[in-house]
Structure 1
Amino acid sequence: MHVYLDNAATTPLDPEVLDAMLPYLSQHYGNPSSLHGPGRQVRSAIEVARKTVAQLINAAPSEITFTSGGTEADNYAIFGSVRTLGLRHAITSPLEHHAVLHPLQALAKNGETELSYLRHDAQGRLDLGQLEELLATHPRSLVSLMHGNNELGNLNDISEIGDICARHDAVFHTDTVQTMGHYRHDVQQLKNHFLVGSAHKFHGPKGVGFLYRRGGLEVGPLIHGGAQERNVRSGTENVYGIVGLAKALEIACRDMAAHQYYIQRLKDRLIGRLQAGIADVQFNGLSAAADQSLYTVLSVSLPPSSISEMLLFSLDINKIAASGGSACTSGAQLGSHVLEALGGDANRATVRLSMSKLNTEEEIDYAAAQLVKLYQPALV
């Protein structure tokens, strides 16, 4: 049995999405900037996709910019806000993805903005009281805080964060890469200025994403050279990727309630089997709390063992694909900036098991059994 439990890193392409993409890989190959018929045909497909994405998050089509993925979208929001709007202070947390932390740190190092980090507790809950205090003394700051943590699964209350930002005229960017396609996002209800999506996190193609930028907020481009994407982002558009993104998000929103229920049941099943089979198994952050974490992600902290350094390799040998945390972090041992920020025990190995609509109960049982076998062989 082959078991894929690294869906937070990337998800398999949905067959419906592939079907939607195929004509733009073979028959419809015009450049969308060309004025002739083949060019106009693919330009129309891009604009239909833009309208679809906009409708699904309750935005205007003009507020959607297609990008190469979540990382570019995050970079655009951060660099554009600081450099175009002249924001001299930024607030984030040490638990953010590197796509957010590294741009902010680069801007701070260059003296373009001052950077403050929010405090958090041992489970990764952010101190929103401190956010209020920081904004009271630094109004009109850039606030960049994610919705769902890619390693822990922790969910931040972006509605409350948006309200705090609005009271202090702050610009609010939220990385929604892990939650787009898994939770509803209504930008008319949220008070964010930017949010992002990456197609391969919700069964779409790799190499394409989008940025929502609230209307009226003008920021400069990150990529120059051709003025495609309405003068916001240059470069010939990834037409088949954009078509696939829109289709994948449409499917995700269409079937969201059923998938949430199904995947949460898989996660609960996995938690129960690990707790029953491994003494002193723990879960990082709020990962095991159903109402405070992504239903797709379980971050498992395993007791000290001689197997720890070879944990991911051992799982791979048993045909289980998992990760130690972010896809950008290798190894099962404590090496993640997120786990380090939580003050985790370096002697305990962490494995992130992330599920999708394509996983089965049989796969969950098999993965749990293999972990139990590695850590409590006498019980198997």
Structure 2
Amino acid sequence: MLPEAIAAMTAELAELGNPSSLHAVGRRARRVVEESREVIAEAFGARPSEVIFTSGGTEADNLAVKGLYWAARAADPARVRVLASAVEHHAVLDAVQWLADHEGAAVEWLPVDGSGRVRPETLRAAMGPDVALVTVMWANNEVGTVQPVAELAAIAREHGVPFHTDAVQAAAALPVGFTASGAHALTLSGHKLGGPLGVGALLLAKGTDPVPVLHGGGQERDVRSGTLDTPAIAGFAAAVRVSAERRADEAARLAALRDELIAAVRAAVPDAILNGDPAGRLPGNAHFSFPGCEGDALLMLLDARGIACSTGSACSAGVSQPSHVLLAMGADPARARGSLRFTLGHTSTEADVAELAQAIGPVVERARRAGLS
């Protein structure tokens, strides 16, 4: 967490008040929530009324995917198709699959090119009067590829179809503008911006009303129920404010560090394959395939040296399966299993990159020997 987020959250933890209560301490908590809503709206080019607080990215994705599908079906029972990119985070991927398994949705997984990008012509060819929802992430959590969200959202709008984008990975590093993007719904998560775990938001355009997934007091525009976590929301807003102020400079710093990391890995392991778009990628993301290695073995060997990396999404860590993202990009299962994601953030330094540069060659060599034994 950013120090500013820790300070804001810690200060609020000592206070009383349910922001839905009418007494003085409740009104004080409500003021914190509404001021936080305004900060987040301004940072992401939205109206305050369009910010719906949730427990994080997964809940926001589920509310958008399921809720907008149900709303579209209620308005027009013929709208049964869901178009989703084949490289979505599991919070979207599994929510879409659940609709297919339990709600009669006809799911079409939009293919991606070798860089992991959904091409606008691919979406246009798939559109039709029976489409209920389109969902394509802003930037991929594994390989870092940035999607042409504005173009994709415009195509969906031409057909009167709601467009959702998971911007969890993009929000801290890219100039994410909700209204400018043309999306109807956009997912954010606090911890990806240097805020606390367990808080996020779904930006919902005016007039976009998903059917609720949670039922109760209807605290958030009658589409999301549950007592609001005022301390977490305060920390979330503080992180958003700092992140927005520093975004351009931090993105440039991380991009330079990332390029150093990529050059160092390639120098130490010449046959390493850089995955994702070499140009249109997140500034803090570097994703490699290492031929002849198992990603899990590489991860554990690096972890023993104090270097944390990932074989895919942290949410699916421990599951020994090839990355669905790399498979969708055309990689074979062996290459998909032998891949690692290195992510840089606001605490990352040149010393961190130098440490990885020193470790990666011997680690890959050892993993390859283990694979042959």
TM more than 0.5: yes
Structure 1 distance, partners of 2:257, 2:329, is: 26
Aligned twin of 1:82: 69
Query: How many residues were matched structurally?
Result: 359
Within 1, Cα distance between the matches of 2:270 and 2:319?
A: 19
158, 167, 179: which one aligns with 2:149: 158
Give the C-alpha shift of residue 363 in structure 1: 0.9
The aligned residue for residue 220 of structure 1 is: 211
* 2:369 paired residue number: none
Q: What secondary structure is seen at the aligned counterpart in 1 of 2:114? A: coil
> Helix, strand or coil for the counterpart of 2:180?
coil
Q: Which residue of 2 aligns with 1:43?
A: 30
1:300 matched residue in structure 2: 288
Q: Are 2:320 and 1:320 aligned?
A: no
Aligned mate of 1:351, from 337, 340, 348: 340
Matched, 1:330 2:310: no
- Counterpart CA distance in 1 for 2:163 and 2:242 is 28
Query: Post-superposition shift, 1:359?
Result: 0.8
Q: SS of the counterpart of 2:108? A: strand
Write out aligned runs for 1:1-380 (5 A): 13-26=1-14, 28-86=15-73, 87-135=79-127, 137-138=128-129, 141-286=132-277, 289=278, 291-305=279-293, 309-330=296-317, 335-348=322-335, 349-376=338-365
- 1:97-140 Cα offsets, whole Å, 9 max, x none, are 111111111112224321111122233232321211121x3365
State the shift of 1:331 in Å. Answer: 5.5
Contact 2:272 2:289 in 1 (8 A): yes
Q: 1:359 and 1:37, CA in 2 relative to 1: closer, same or farther beyond 3 A?
A: same
| DSSP 3-state at the match of 1:123 | coil
Cα distance in 1, alignment partners of residues 169 and 270 from structure 2: 30
- Alignment check: 8 A CA contact 1:334 1:340 kept: no
C-alpha distance in structure 1 between counterparts of 2:131 and 2:295, whole Å: 46
Contact 1:334 1:344 in 2 (8 A): no
Superimposed CA distance per residue, residues 154-211 of structure 1 (whole angstroms, 9 cap, x where no aligned partner) = 1101011112112211210000010112211222321110001000001100000000
Distance 1:303 1:332, change over 3 A: farther
| TM-score, normalization by structure 1 | 0.90
> What SS does the corresponding residue of 1:151 show, helix, strand or coil?
coil
Higher helix share: 2
In the alignment, structure 1 segments of 5+ residues that lack a partner are 1-12
- SS of residue matched to 1:188: helix
Runs of 5+ consecutive residues of structure 2 not aligned to the other structure: 74-78, 367-373
Contact 1:153–1:298 under 8 Å retained in 2? yes
Report the RMSD for the aligned CA atoms in angstroms.
1.8
Q: Distance in 1 between matches of 2:204 and 2:176?
A: 14
Q: C-alpha distance in 2, partners of 1:189/1:309?
A: 40
